[in-house]
Amino acid sequence: MTAPARKRRRRSRRALTPTPHDAVFKIVFSDPKEAAGLLRAVLPPELVRAANWSTLRLMSSAAPDRRLVERRTDLVFSLEIEGRPVAIVLIFEHQSTPDPWMPWRFLGYVVGQWEAHRRVKPRAPLPPVLTLVLTHTSDGWSSSRSLADLVEFGGLRGALETFVPSFEHLVIDVSRMTTEQLLEASVTSLVRGLLLLYRDARRGRVADILRAHTSIFDAIARDARLEAVEGLLRYALSQAADSEHGDILEVVTTLGDENGERTMRSVADKLFEDGYARGIEKGIEKGIEKGIEKGKLDGQRALLARALERRFGALSAQHSARIEQATQAEIEGWIDRLLVAASPSELFEEP
């Protein structure tokens, strides 16, 4: 393989690496049970009543452009409405500004679904394709939702528009939804919690969001699939500053009943093991250092103890006592060795 080819291949692999945002939306809404609640809440009531929701299933993307097929946050569903199949394309946008070319992007999916249908049933009528985008724009979705609006007609729109393919896509703008609307929506706790984080994480502390909606996240810890819980926690951490990671883990490891708490602790431990460890520990370290500078020694002792427990398990009474009795200079020295020490004894330089 030539050097340029290897470079292109590496770029392709990086492009397909899912971000925490991409991953959690794909994990959650790939489950028809989770997707059904969202679709019921946003589709026109006439379609909701006419749909047979037991037929909702995830389909393989049939976009003609390979780059569209590989998008991690685009899902395609099939649903019977009045006994006939309807395709539903759902796109998740993480950008805070609307994409003015979204109708064009959807057009690739519409054509792809129809081409896939004709390969199987070449003489049958084409199925309807519903297109929806889930977003959280800062100032509302101001771009046109119509494909025809992307075409320049001049002064002859009335005469020319008839000859131009056109459709409109639905916009689910979570940033325009009130907390009461999200709490009252007929969706699962998992979807509700994800939408709350999706709406609020960029404008507030994630740990405070978790605390404000404890009952929702308790239910997620208790009832949701482990894969979904892990994806949600990864997303929460990705939206927070490094210095907040320790506080987030402090909250999530107390969520749910006894089984739910074990689930959250298991997920937190896994994240420590497979990639978030350095970021979380550095975040805690930064928080400790910042707190020391402000003279909040007692709080920093507690955070240091928590960091050690996450790495090494429960501390002995002797080590807990050492932390409680430590001076600022001792705390700072332990912080410096926190990421390299192999055990509490090594950290405390015990014989």
User: Residue 245's pLDDT is what?
Assistant: 78
Tokens of 259: 């089984």
Q: What residue spans define the domains of the chain?
A: 15-147+164-176
Pairwise CA distance, residues 216 & 204, whole Å: 18
Residue by residue, pLDDT tens for the chain (351 residues) are 555 554 444 444 444 445 777 888 989 999 999 999 999 999 999 999 999 999 999 986 544 454 444 444 689 999 999 999 999 999 988 777 899 999 999 999 999 999 999 999 999 999 999 999 999 988 889 999 999 999 999 999 999 999 999 999 999 999 999 999 999 988 999 999 999 999 998 888 888 999 899 899 889 988 888 889 888 888 888 888 877 877 887 787 777 666 655 666 666 666 655 545 455 555 555 555 554 454 457 666 777 787 788 778 888 888 888 888 888 788 777 877 776 778 888 888 765
Whole-angstrom CA distances from 274 to 89, 271, 277, 347 are: 33, 5, 7, 22
What's the confidence (pLDDT) of residue 341? Answer: 79
Burial class (CB in 10 A: 0-12, 13-18, 19+), 300: buried
CA 141 to chain centre: 20
**Beta-strand (E) ranges in the chain?**
51-59, 74-81, 84-92, 129-135, 170-173
Residue in the structure block whose two tokens are 């402090």? 250
